[in-house]
Amino acid sequence: MRRYGQLLFAVSFAVVFLNTPLWAGCVCGGDEVSEALRGEVPQVQLPGPVVVDRADMPAEDNGRDISDRGVDALSGDVSGRVTGRRTADVLDMEGVSSAADRYSARESGAALSAFGYDDRNVVHVYLRDYALPLPADSAAVPTGQLFCRDPFVLADPVSRLYFLPVRGADGQSFMTYASRDLHFWRSLGKSFTPDSTFWGESDFWAPDLFYYGGRYYLAATFSAPETGRGCSLLVSDKPSGPFEPLTEGPLTPLGWTCLDATLWIDEGRPWLIFCREWLEVTDGEVWAMPLTEDLTAAAGEPVLLFSASEARWTGPITAYGKTGYVTDAPFVWRTESGELLMLWSSFARLTDEDQAAGRTEGKYSIGVAWSKGGLTGPWIHEKVPLNDDDGGHAMIVRAFGGQLHISYHAPNSGPTHAVIRPLRIRGRKVTIMY
């Protein structure tokens, strides 16, 4: 990485801080931040386009710090000028070079943490949220060292933190991590430990976290000898739990082997979207079932959306003496154009490269499908998977700054960890930004 021997420009702020920076161990509300940062800030000439992110400055930018003085919101234009604004002003990045991410958001209770610039002279502005401290007694874990499967991220509109539930190390519980920036995570401990009356006895897979109707819900997979494998919802008043069962048994149809349920709200109507296990039906399936408003029961019959082999990129796997096609992790997202896309996972066709590497089956991969008629389809599949890193079980989250991110685990063959990267959707073109 290229290093800069001198700053390319000078920064001068007419803001005077206390001797201790605001972010050094204190908690400030929006009014206090505004008071501390009040005053006019002169324009600053920058070397290139601007990227604004609501995050701490990463360690790799420490050597390129421009200023640790702050203002509580910024606006940029294509000429590279940044002007200080008051807290309530809109952060308007329209006109910034297309090479940079563009945001438009109101940032209350936040202040500038640092300037930094990278090798392409793209200026990074790092914002911190003072009113929402994370526990200091748990170590901050980088995303790439968060060893888990099925990482589902909720951008909580209440706390403005990111929450990521995972399966507990004991295999019979869930725990939760929280982050300000999608880069570093702190453990909040266990969020669900079942009592003796809970129907599920094993699996405890794929906890998806949602905020709905003022409460938080986990959609997850469980198994028991009497009911087989199915999906149900847990509920809590806080994203960190503790969660409790919403129903006394699975919501998915009894007698079916189901997994990887997720919640989708379509014009105010809740749906449970889930997979039917390939070991039961050979060609794995994705189903959608309408729910009652309180999410406690089916409000209609389940609808088959598609089978795994309908996507040309999928290949068969063999396990437990059976060969078939897998469906995992359906996740629905409405694009800015109003179209529905679905991410889901399966195994890709075995390639010559796979065989040369000693693989007997294709890589675990993320598929993209588009609906022509709402949630119930028909669904049209992209011809190739979205990724090639043996990763899957993906979802999309919009960061508080506005940028879309994709979250999934890789490599599936292990040791597997969380992967969170920016995602771009332009028309029907979906691209992971590596």
For 188-212, what is each residue's pLDDT tens digit?
A: 999 999 999 999 999 999 999 999 9
Q: Does residue 135 lie within any of the structural domains? A: no
- Taking only the tens place, the pLDDT of each residue in 47-96 is 444 444 434 434 343 333 333 323 223 333 222 333 332 222 223 222 22
End-to-end CA distance of the chain: 17
pLDDT at residue number 434: 84
Residue with tokens 């490599």: 411
Question: Is the pLDDT confidence value at 41 over 60?
Answer: no
Which tokens is 158 given?
């209440």
The whole-angstrom separation of Cα 200 and Cα 290 is 23
Q: Distance of CA 409 to CAs 6, 144, 148, 152, 392, Å?
A: 40, 10, 7, 10, 6
Mean pLDDT for the chain overall: 76
Q: Does residue 117 lie within any of the structural domains? A: yes
- pLDDT mean over 340-350: 97
In terms of domains, do 157 and 96 share one?
Answer: no
Q: Which CATH number fits the domain that encloses residue 206?
A: 2.115.10.20
pLDDT at residue number 4: 25
Closest CA to 46 of 16, 8, 84: 8
Task: Identify the DSSP state of 359.
Answer: -
Q: Distance of CA 87 to CAs 37, 39, 96, 114, Å?
A: 9, 12, 21, 17
pLDDT at residue number 171: 95
Total domains present in the chain:
2
In terms of domains, do 75 and 154 share one?
Answer: no
In terms of domains, do 161 and 305 share one?
Answer: yes
In terms of domains, do 423 and 368 share one?
Answer: yes
Domain ranges, residue 37:
30-129
In terms of domains, do 168 and 64 share one?
Answer: no
The DSSP string of 11-26 is --------SS-TTTT-
In terms of domains, do 118 and 251 share one?
Answer: no
Q: Does residue 15 lie within any of the structural domains? A: no
In terms of domains, do 123 and 162 share one?
Answer: no
Q: Does residue 13 lie within any of the structural domains? A: no
Q: Does residue 207 lie within any of the structural domains? A: yes
- Taking only the tens place, the pLDDT of each residue in 101-132 is 222 222 222 333 333 434 444 444 443 332 34
Partners of 331 in beta bridges: 343
Of 72, 104, 129, which residue sits at a domain end?
Answer: 129
In terms of domains, do 215 and 77 share one?
Answer: no
Q: Does residue 9 lie within any of the structural domains? A: no
In terms of domains, do 270 and 410 share one?
Answer: yes
- Taking only the tens place, the pLDDT of each residue in 372-412 is 889 999 999 999 999 999 999 999 999 999 999 999 999 99
In terms of domains, do 353 and 229 share one?
Answer: yes
Q: Does residue 192 lie within any of the structural domains? A: yes
pLDDT at residue number 431: 97
Q: If pLDDT is split at 50, 70 and 90, which confidence band does 137 have?
A: low
Q: Does residue 116 lie within any of the structural domains? A: yes
Closest CA to 398 of 382, 416, 420: 420
In terms of domains, do 189 and 55 share one?
Answer: no
Of 96, 129, 162, which residue sits at a domain end?
Answer: 129
In terms of domains, do 332 and 411 share one?
Answer: yes
